[in-house]
């Protein structure tokens, strides 16, 4: 049987080891929390960067959409002008042909 003194020493040693084990567990838990906090910071920074890139892409897309609308309107206007000038050209050719015909007849007479 263990003596009382040995039992007390053994109890003190066990309590000391239990405290050390708890301290090690606590340190490991603190390290785990710190690692997790760093991961949250990295993920938050990446999320903010991604959101900024999305906002910039949306802004660029909106600018391009507006530019496309303006170019489409300009194209429609240019087509209208081309149709009008084609009509004027046809009318001018018809007038010239009439005038040429009249001139040709005048020369014949």
Domain residue limits, the chain: 1-80
Say yes or no to pLDDT of 20 above 80.
no
Say yes or no to pLDDT of 60 above 90.
yes
Phi-psi region of 104 (alpha: psi -120 to 50; beta: other; left: phi over 0): alpha
Residue whose pair of structure tokens reads 């002008």 in the numeric block: 81
Residue whose pair of structure tokens reads 């990295």 in the numeric block: 42
Identify the pLDDT of residue 9: 76
Non-local (6+) Cβ contacts of 2 within 8 A are 10
Overall pTM > 0.85? no
Percent of the chain with pLDDT over 70: 83
Average pLDDT value for residue range 28-41: 85
Identify the pLDDT of residue 21: 59
């Amino acid at each position: 049987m263990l003596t009382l003194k040995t039992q007390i020493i053994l109890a003190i040693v066990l309590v000391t080891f239990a405290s050390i084990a708890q301290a090690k567990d606590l340190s490991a838990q603190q390290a785990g929390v710190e690692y997790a906090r760093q991961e949250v910071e990295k993920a938050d920074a990446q999320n903010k960067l991604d959101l900024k890139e999305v906002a910039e892409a949306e802004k660029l897309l909106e600018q391009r959409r507006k530019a496309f609308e303006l170019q489409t309107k300009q194209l429609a206007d240019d087509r209208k002008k081309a149709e009008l000038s084609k009509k004027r050209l046809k009318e001018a050719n018809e007038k010239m042909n009439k005038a040429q015909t009249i001139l040709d007849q005048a020369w014949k007479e």
